[in-house]
Amino acid sequence: MIDTGWNREESRKALFDGLAALDVVFEKTDILLTHLHADHSGLAGEVATEKSKVYCGRIDSEIVNAMAGATNYWKEIGAVFGMHGFPAKDLHTAMHNHPGRRFSARKEQTFTILGGEDVVEVGDYRFTCIETPGHTPGHICLYEPDNKVLISGDHILDDITPNITFEKNIENPLGHYLQSLDKINRLEIELVLTGHQSLIHDISKRIGELKEHHHARLEEVLVILGNGRMNAYNVAAKMTWDIIPSSWDLFPLAQKMFAVGEAATHLEYLQYSGVVKRIEIDGQIYFEIN
């Protein structure tokens, strides 16, 4: 079983009803998580039995357990967003209501770690693990070369653009994401089974669209920074977003967090490219054109 859905009652009922209709035997079922996000990992502990293996990439497995365990994970993430300008008056509410916090796994897992080129055999299929950091730092895809099938998780989606996750202590995630797209584009693939919405049959076309999207985003950020030094929160407020409501002031706080994280990853990419300079003043992070 690949990915599990949110740890919430509606998701749990839908999942278990579906598994029952398929006559799934839980004791004979292993689970593979493509990445850490709660909409993919939240119910892993509900499905796994003592006989089940739960596969995941190393970095994401550590974060899943950090979110489930008695750690300061969410407090530390909130502090990073605060350094990037997220208003203190909104930060506590945003972190408390964050869906990744509310609907994540409630207990730590014993993971079987998958890395690049590891193989998972299921029946007649031999899936090779492809490490694709970017959407999350430890995201993995599965590639079946004989049937030219890719299980992409959220690395490549057709109807929406994957968010580039902003994690503490992870440098240049957008750079990693673009490199991961190139890695996948070198494979011979005829069908992509995605983590959300539509299947993909022309992966090279979709990869081209995703790269074009991010390059346009980078240009937009540079135009915004042309007005002077800014933090990621203020840059995000001026970026264009395909969301209702369109006014930044009316954005739900969770959506503002995703937007600020996206802005920060693009600013950091420009910093690593030497185009933008990062400046820290009194514990606050700003960017300006170099």
Within 13 A of 4's CA, how many CA atoms are on the CB side?
28
- Reported residue count of the chain is 290
Least Cα distance to 285 among 178, 136, 166, 175 occurs for 166
For residue 96, what pLDDT is reported? 87
Tokens of 256: 């503002």
- What kind of fold does domain 9-223 have according to CATH? Metallo-beta-lactamase; Chain A (3.60.15)
For residue 166, what pLDDT is reported? 86
Q: Is there a contact between 151 and 141 (Cβ–Cβ < 8 Å)?
A: yes
For residues 89 and 137, give the distance between their C-alpha atoms in angstroms, rounded to a whole number: 29
For residue 185, what pLDDT is reported? 98
Q: In a structure prediction context, what are the per-residue pLDDT tens digits for the chain, which is 290 residues long?
A: 999 999 999 999 999 999 999 999 999 999 999 999 999 999 999 999 999 999 999 999 999 999 998 678 999 999 999 999 999 999 989 988 899 999 999 899 999 999 999 999 999 999 999 999 999 999 999 999 999 999 999 999 999 999 998 888 899 999 999 999 999 999 999 999 999 999 999 999 999 999 999 999 999 999 999 999 999 999 999 999 988 777 899 999 989 999 999 999 999 999 999 999 999 999 999 999 99
For residues 148 and 18, give the distance between their C-alpha atoms in angstroms, rounded to a whole number: 27
Environment class of 215 (CB within 10 Å of its CB; exposed 0-12, middle 13-18, buried 19+): exposed
For residues 171 and 126, give the distance between their C-alpha atoms in angstroms, rounded to a whole number: 32
Overall pTM > 0.85: yes
In the 8-state DSSP scheme, what is residue 61?
A: H
For residue 167, what pLDDT is reported? 86
For residue 70, what pLDDT is reported? 66
**Cβ within 8 Å of residue 287, ≥6 positions away:** 225, 229, 230, 231, 232, 235, 267, 270, 271, 276, 277, 278, 279
| Site of tokens 């079922």 | 29
The structural domains of the chain, with segments of one domain joined by +, span 9-223
SS3 track for 196-262? CCCCECCHHHHHHHHHHHHHHHHHHHHHHHCCCCECHHHHHHHCCCCCCCCCHHHCCHHHHHHHHHH
